Amino acid sequence: MAADDEMQVIIGLEVHLQLNKLRTKLWCSCTSDYHGKDPNTVLCPVCLALPGTLPVLNKRAIDFAILLGLALKGDIQKETFFYRKNYYYPDMCKNFQISQYDKAGGVPICVGGELAFRVGKEARTVHFLRVHMEEDPGRLAYDGSITSSPVAYIDYNRHGMALLEAVTAPELRSPEEARAFLKKLRAIVEHLGIADLGLEGSMRCDANISYKGHSRVEVKNISSMKEVEKALTFEMMRQKQKIKGGGEIVQETRHWDEVRRVTISLRTKETEKDYRYFPEPDLVPVAIDKKMIDAARKAMPELPDARIQRFVKQYQIPEYDAGVLCDSKAMADFYEASVKLYNDPKDVSNWLMGDVSRRLNEDLLEIEETKITPDALAQMLQLIKEGTITGKIAKGLVKDMLAGAKPADLVKKHDVKRIDDKNVLDKIAREVIAENPKVVEEIKAGKNPRTFEFLVGQVMKKTRGQADPELTRETLKNLL
Amino acid sequence: MCMAKLHETTATELVQKLSTGETTPVEVMAAYLERIGKLEPKIHALTFVNKDAAMKEAEKAAKELKGAKGKKKPLMGMPIIIKECISTSGIQTTCCSKILQGYIPPYDATVVTRLKQAGAIIIAKSNMDEFAMGSSTERSCYGPTMNPWDVKRVPGGSSGGSGAAIAAREAPLALGSDTGGSIRCPAAYCGVSGIKATYGRVSRYGLVAYANSLEQIGPITLTARDSALLLGIIAGKDPADSTSVDMPVDKYSEGIASLKGVKVGIPKEFFGEGLKADVKAAVQKAIDKLKELGATTQEVSLPSIKYALPTYYLIAMCEASSNLARFDGLRYGMRVDVPKGNYDAMFSKTRQEGFGPEVRRRIILGTYALSAGYYDMFYVKALKARTIIQDDFKKALAKVDVLAGPTMPTTAFEIGTKVDDPLTMYLEDILTVPINLAGVPSLSVPVGSDKAGMPIGMQIMGNFFKEQQVLGVGMALEDVLQFYKKIPPLAGV
């Protein structure tokens, strides 16, 4: 059997992007704002597909698709068709899904395309096979895990929402890459303004995973970017173990069980579904002319790559920093709003990439999911600049600020202010020197310059970080 | 107006009498409801009679007719029968299938909305072959409809309820739907008129789909003139149906000034093997009448229509297999619960018990034909054949104004004689399905009877969106033939 490091995994993703920035669903005039509504209340005869109803294409959905296609450098097709994908499942009111197809005469709205992104410092490019449009089915919910739930609940509110499915070539090489790729894709989609991917279920994935020389497994039901890494990691481990144990990978479709954090087999190749695609007779072909494409080009907003370059130029920050900030539209927007209020771009960027991001990562949150405002951040930086608080004090405020607290209120509430009273500092410095005779000796002998910083740290500790660091150093030096 | 004479009145005449006040909506509604009460036990054309609601609507219409606004509505107070597969808000729409028992739609089909706006009142829903799959109206979960001319015989199908009801004068107007002849066949067998308009002329929104790319809703009435009146109300672009076409609706009721100079093509393939001698003779006589009225005739050929039947059945079954997938018992209609079973078991059991054998047959065949490995062999080939058939019609209609030929190869057959033999039943459609494949309009008008007294219909087919011409020829012909004045004996009360 091949050794671990010789085993090359190949991953392809089918990313479903829900166009929830459309005002209405794909075929009817029901609002697309169904999130948080009571189950089965955002419905009409058309999206419930009652007998006799017909779909009517939301024309703006095509405009949105053209925007994404152009942003991904794909070929927008002159004429595109809808096809029926036939299969029985309780989340679909018609027991077929109106989708697009790239075989049997079908033409998806966009063919090809690519996306450049970074994994850490490495630059990568992944290609797309196509971007096609389809309708979202309803949502099934279970009591706990799918395998043990005695019932399935159906909420059709989501039924008939517009989806774009971006299908990549099998070019991703690790779960980390997949996540980085998705992050960039998400940033692009959000900059285009075609979807708010922070909403539950608005970015879902199916993943094709295989090890070189072995069969391919499709994992369905990955419901968010956060789940992708987990699902891929599990499935890779499962396959690797099987291969190492001399077993064979079965070509099959598996289901990612978020609750149990495992993939479970849905069906194997023998029972693979035959979707019996054929052209949707209730819809007419969609012609996309130069005018529509020109209009999309004109409406094209600034995309992450261009924004990164602008940040470098306008704010004089390193490209890496600009890249990290522009990974998320909300973060980039937050940055620019903050700089407007506190004109030190480097400082703002350091804080956002540093302490703010660290906190966000710890809590697995995006900045738009918290209550921190550019105003609060600017206020905090201003307090540091004025000398009211130290950087160290500020670090301690970030957590509360994410919960919506204003830095000025926090300073008052916790009585955390910079100590710059020389007499006070002098007293504490003397205490520290007296308590650490050995260290003082070392410093005097000039053995290790770092030991001096240890004393600074001790002063900080005694003052709960409120001592002014420069004054503390000065005082200690004088005393020594 | 003497209500005893109601059965001698056409819809066009009745509209006139209502607007002049010679009769009232209440009087009309009461009289037709009475006829329904008497005749239904004999012909069973209807599945639901909207008795109380219709009377209330008639009372409202009577009041409205006294004002200026009401007089402007073209069908004010006119009772109309709607086929069971056309969605009517608050009234059962079952496609005469067990699987839709209990389903009451919350919305009106676009044609129904337009009829209501025009002042028409739904008096009843009519019987049909389950999901419009049949040519005899024997395959309804409510039991068969009888032909008013001979209750031992079928009324044709699938809109046999509407055809029989019009022939029996149970209402002045009715709607049917035509996927492969389902309006024209019962019109021919029952001795009434019916038109399938150009594909895209009438909105399909609210028509429960059997084969989307082929079907149209259309009028079934006593005369071609009545059909023109009704088509004028229901035709026109509908934003809710992407396949409806944005073309001006002509003044169908005006017909054409004269048959002088009208070129009538006689497709020789319509007079081939299997055509009953009586039918051939009656149609020939009608064509002669057209000539007498000033039309010229010439033989034309539609060589590819020999492929029409398999082409039609492939496309229709493929589309049906997908269209009917939504009937699974989960959201509406009948459900067979399977204790401890999963949804798959419930779906299967519900569909097995809910669909009749012909519907199951077509779903299975359509599913098979769309399957991997067969798609190109069947569906793609059928689409190609369809284009060739359409080209035949285009070529023929480039030379002539309209085409004329028999609607059905025979006349109404006896109930039970073909229902167990699907292939023989499919052959019934040989002259009607080519028109649906081509998408052109076709009107069936009665032109005579066979030796047994069963009516014979003739099709007048035209070019795309030339409904006015087709109807004009039909009106000119009916004015001289006056078949509509013949009343089935059982209905002459």
Q: Is the pLDDT of residue B166 over 90?
A: yes
CB contact under 8 A, B372 and A274: yes
What ipTM does the predicted assembly reach? 0.96
For residue A150, give the chain B residue with the closest CA.
B340
Residues 6+ apart with CB under 8 A from B68: none
Is B158 catalytic? The answer is yes
Domain edges within chain A = 4-296, 302-414, 422-479
Q: Is the pLDDT of residue B280 over 60?
A: yes
A1 and chain B: CB distance < 8 Å anywhere? no
Distance CA B405, CA B460 (A): 7
Q: What integer pLDDT is reported at residue B70 of this predicted model?
A: 67
From B208, B367, B379, residue closest to A52, measured CB to CB: B208
Q: What integer pLDDT is reported at residue A5 of this predicted model?
A: 57
Q: Is the pLDDT of residue A199 over 70?
A: yes
- Picking from A152, A160, A155, A171, the residue whose alpha carbon sits closest to that of residue A113 is A171
Q: Is the pLDDT of residue B160 over 60?
A: yes
Q: What integer pLDDT is reported at residue A171 of this predicted model?
A: 97
A408 and chain B: CB distance < 8 Å anywhere? no
Distance CA A462, CA B252 (A): 98
Yes or no: say if B350 and B328 are a contact pair by the CB < 8 Å rule: yes
Distance CA B140, CA B84 (A): 10
Buried b (16+ CB within 10 A) or exposed e, A323-350: bbbbbbbbbbbbbbebbebbebbeebbb
Q: What integer pLDDT is reported at residue B227 of this predicted model?
A: 98
Distance CA A339, CA A345 (A): 6
Q: What integer pLDDT is reported at residue B270 of this predicted model?
A: 96
- In a 10 Å sphere around its CB, with 0-12 CB exposed, 13-18 middle and 19+ buried, how is residue B144 labelled? buried
Q: Is the pLDDT of residue A37 over 90?
A: yes
- Average pLDDT of A65-73? 98
Q: What integer pLDDT is reported at residue A433 of this predicted model?
A: 86
Q: Work out the minimum CA distance from A28 to partner chain B, whole angstroms.
A: 9
pLDDT tens-digit profile of B438-448?
A: 999 999 999 99
| Confidence band, pLDDT 50/70/90 cuts, at residue B222 | very high
**Length of chain B counted residue by residue:** 493
Residues 6+ apart with CB under 8 A from B235: B197, B201, B202, B249, B252, B467
Angle formed by the axes of helices B110-117 and B224-234, nearest 10°: 100
Q: What integer pLDDT is reported at residue B3 of this predicted model?
A: 55
Distance CA A412, CA B335 (A): 67
Which has more pLDDT, A198 or B70? A198
Yes or no: say if A109 and A17 are a contact pair by the CB < 8 Å rule: no
Average pLDDT taken over every residue of chain A: 91
A458-467, B61-70, B277-286, B335-344 — which is least confidently predicted?
A: A458-467
CB contact under 8 A, A45 and B107: yes
Angle formed by the axes of helices B25-43 and B11-20, nearest 10°: 150
pLDDT tens-digit profile of A79-108?
A: 999 999 999 999 999 999 999 998 888 999
CB contact under 8 A, B106 and A55: no
φ, ψ dihedrals at A111, nearest 5°: -115, 140
Residues 6+ apart with CB under 8 A from B70: B61, B63, B64, B76, B119
| Confidence band, pLDDT 50/70/90 cuts, at residue A478 | confident
Q: Work out the minimum CA distance from B205 to partner chain A, whole angstroms.
A: 6
Residues of B in contact with A26 (CB under 8 A): none
For residue B328, give the chain A residue with the closest CA.
A95
Distance CA A213, CA B339 (A): 45
Q: How far apart, in Å, are the Cα atoms of A49 and each of A24, A92, A156, A420, B138? A: 16, 9, 11, 72, 28
Distance CA B431, CA B429 (A): 6
Superfamily of domain B3-265+399-491, CATH level 4: Amidase signature (AS) domain (3.90.1300.10)
- Average pLDDT of A2-23? 86
Yes or no: say if A235 and A219 are a contact pair by the CB < 8 Å rule: yes
pLDDT tens-digit profile of A341-355?
A: 999 999 999 999 999
User: If DSSP codes are grouped into helix, strand and coil, which group holds residue A68?
Assistant: helix
Is B237 catalytic? The answer is no
> A422-479: which CATH topology?
Arc Repressor Mutant, subunit A (1.10.10)
Angle formed by the axes of helices B277-292 and B467-481, nearest 10°: 100
Q: Work out the minimum CA distance from B206 to partner chain A, whole angstroms.
A: 4
What is the Cα A291 distance to its own chain's centre? 33
Domain edges within chain B = 3-265+399-491
Residues of A in contact with B370 (CB under 8 A): 86, 276, 278
A287 and chain B: CB distance < 8 Å anywhere? no
CB contact under 8 A, B241 and A51: no
- Picking from B468, B404, B441, B411, the residue whose alpha carbon sits closest to that of residue B195 is B441
pLDDT tens-digit profile of B447-485?
A: 999 999 999 999 999 999 999 999 999 999 999 999 999
- Average pLDDT of B16-43? 95
Residues of B in contact with A95 (CB under 8 A): 325-326, 328
pLDDT tens-digit profile of B230-247?
A: 999 999 999 999 999 999
The DSSP result for A162-173, as a single string, is EEEEEEE-S-B-
Residues of B in contact with A154 (CB under 8 A): 330
- Average pLDDT of A308-335? 94
Q: What integer pLDDT is reported at residue A103 of this predicted model?
A: 87
Distance CA B50, CA B52 (A): 6
Q: Work out the minimum CA distance from B410 to partner chain A, whole angstroms.
A: 32
Q: Is the pLDDT of residue B4 over 60?
A: no
Q: Is the pLDDT of residue A1 over 50?
A: no
A237 and chain B: CB distance < 8 Å anywhere? no
Mutate to test the interface with B, among A48, A53, A146 (most CBs of B within 10 A): A53
Distance CA B116, CA B113 (A): 5
% of chain A residues with pLDDT over 70: 97
Is B384 catalytic? The answer is no
Q: What integer pLDDT is reported at residue B426 of this predicted model?
A: 84
Q: Is the pLDDT of residue A2 over 60?
A: no
Buried b (16+ CB within 10 A) or exposed e, A420-438: beeeebeebbeebbeebee
Write down the residue that tokens 């031992």 correspond to.
Answer: B152
- When mean pLDDT is compared over A242-251, A447-456, B40-49, the highest value belongs to B40-49
